């Protein structure tokens, strides 16, 4: 029997997976019949507007391996046009348009409809995240830009979600430049730290000259003012957006659902450990579909 969506999981880009691992992931014969079946009669995704992206999870400890995962977002609109870049090397999370990394949502055309006219495809309700960047072209980007693909995460912003972003960060990163010395790099928490004590401690450690103390304090105060202003403006913008948001948009956010698909465990193969966690942006209730369909 022809499986009309057999190649669906392979068409979905695996976000945040190292390029060196892509060939192994997509070259393996993983069974995502559970994902296919979800679009069939009685399936959770049948007749829905669905946006799909991929990722990988590490399985095992001593003999660790990567397992592909597909996330389905049921939504009336694209869940995001942004990508978050997160790594231990970066002090802060960076949010970029998907197009900067040559990513976008594209209609998925089932195997049996690949020869359909463009007009007939406008009714498509399944969209997949794809990346037009090619591995051979990474060298032209430079190391830092190329590494962004390893550290990227799909970004999703829910204005109704109460999370740590509502608890404003009180720490600022300081990069204090000096004419004859390397810049002084440190952090300052205006809720916990006392500026005079921080400056005196840096002087004692010979990281800051005594005659630089006043300039350093003024610099830190300015950075704190900038951070507080940015937080206030972001808070006001969010409040304004919520006030102006129409009932239809609110209902659309309320109706968003997340489904996570693991490969079907084959007889004799190790059991795949499963988690409802996607990433910190997609931390709403997630439905795991691995038992009802295709197992």
pLDDT digits (tens, 9 = 90+) for 16-33: 888 888 888 888 889 999
- Strands 126-131 and 50-59, by their bridges, are parallel
Contacts of 125 (CB under 8 A, 6+ apart): 47, 48, 49, 50
Distance CA 181, CA 155 (A): 39
pLDDT digits (tens, 9 = 90+) for 94-144: 788 999 889 999 999 888 676 666 555 566 789 999 998 887 777 777 777
Residues in the chain: 295
| The pLDDT of residue 88 | 47
Distance CA 294, CA 43 (A): 11
| The pLDDT of residue 292 | 37
Least confident stretch, 60-64, 153-157, 225-229: 60-64
**pLDDT for residue 213 is more than 90:** yes
pLDDT band at 64 (very low <50, low <70, confident <90, very high): confident
**pLDDT for residue 10 is more than 90:** yes
- Compute the average pLDDT of residues 209-225: 94
| The pLDDT of residue 4 | 80
Distance CA 236, CA 241 (A): 9
Average pLDDT value for the chain: 82
Of the CATH numbers 3.40.30, 3.40.50, 3.10.20, 1.10.3470, which one belongs to the domain with range 164-244?
3.10.20
**pLDDT for residue 290 is more than 50:** no
pLDDT band at 87 (very low <50, low <70, confident <90, very high): low
Of 137 and 208, the structure prediction assigns the larger pLDDT to 208
Q: Where are the domains of the chain?
A: 8-159+256-288, 164-244
pLDDT band at 54 (very low <50, low <70, confident <90, very high): very high
**pLDDT for residue 198 is more than 90:** yes
pLDDT band at 246 (very low <50, low <70, confident <90, very high): confident
The pair phi, psi for residue 58, each rounded to 5°, is -85, 130
| The pLDDT of residue 1 | 44
State the pTM of this model.
Answer: 0.70
**pLDDT for residue 241 is more than 50:** yes
């Amino acid at each position: 029997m022809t499986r009309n969506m057999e190649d669906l999981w392979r068409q979905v880009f695996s976000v945040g997976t190292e390029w060196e691992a892509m060939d192994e992931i997509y070259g393996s014969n993983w069974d995502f019949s559970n994902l296919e079946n979800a679009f069939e009669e009685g399936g959770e995704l049948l007749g829905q507007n669905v946006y799909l992206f991929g990722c990988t999870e590490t399985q095992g400890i001593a003999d660790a391996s990567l397992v592909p995962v597909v996330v389905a977002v049921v939504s009336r609109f694209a869940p995001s046009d942004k990508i978050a870049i997160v790594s231990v090397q970066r002090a802060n999370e960076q949010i970029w348009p998907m197009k900067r990394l040559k990513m976008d949502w594209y209609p998925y055309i089932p195997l049996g409809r690949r020869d359909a006219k463009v007009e007939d495809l406008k009714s498509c309700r399944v969209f997949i995240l794809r990346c037009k960047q090619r591995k051979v072209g990474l060298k032209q980007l430079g190391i830092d830009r190329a590494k962004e693909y390893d550290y990227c995460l799909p970004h999703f912003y829910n204005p109704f979600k109460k999370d740590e972003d509502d608890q404003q960060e009180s720490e600022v990163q300081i990069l204090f430049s000096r004419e004859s010395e390397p810049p002084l790099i440190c952090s300052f928490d205006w809720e916990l730290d006392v500026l005079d004590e921080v400056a005196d401690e840096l002087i004692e450690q010979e990281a800051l000259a005594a005659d630089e103390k006043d300039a350093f304090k003024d610099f830190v105060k300015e950075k704190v003012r900038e951070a507080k202003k940015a937080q206030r403006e972001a808070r006001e913008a969010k409040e304004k957006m919520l006030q102006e948001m129409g009932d239809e948009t609110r209902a659309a956010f309320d109706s968003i659902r997340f489904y996570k698909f693991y490969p079907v465990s084959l007889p004799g193969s190790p059991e795949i450990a499963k988690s409802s966690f996607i990433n910190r942006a997609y931390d709403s209730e997630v439905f795991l579909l691995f038992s009802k369909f295709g197992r």
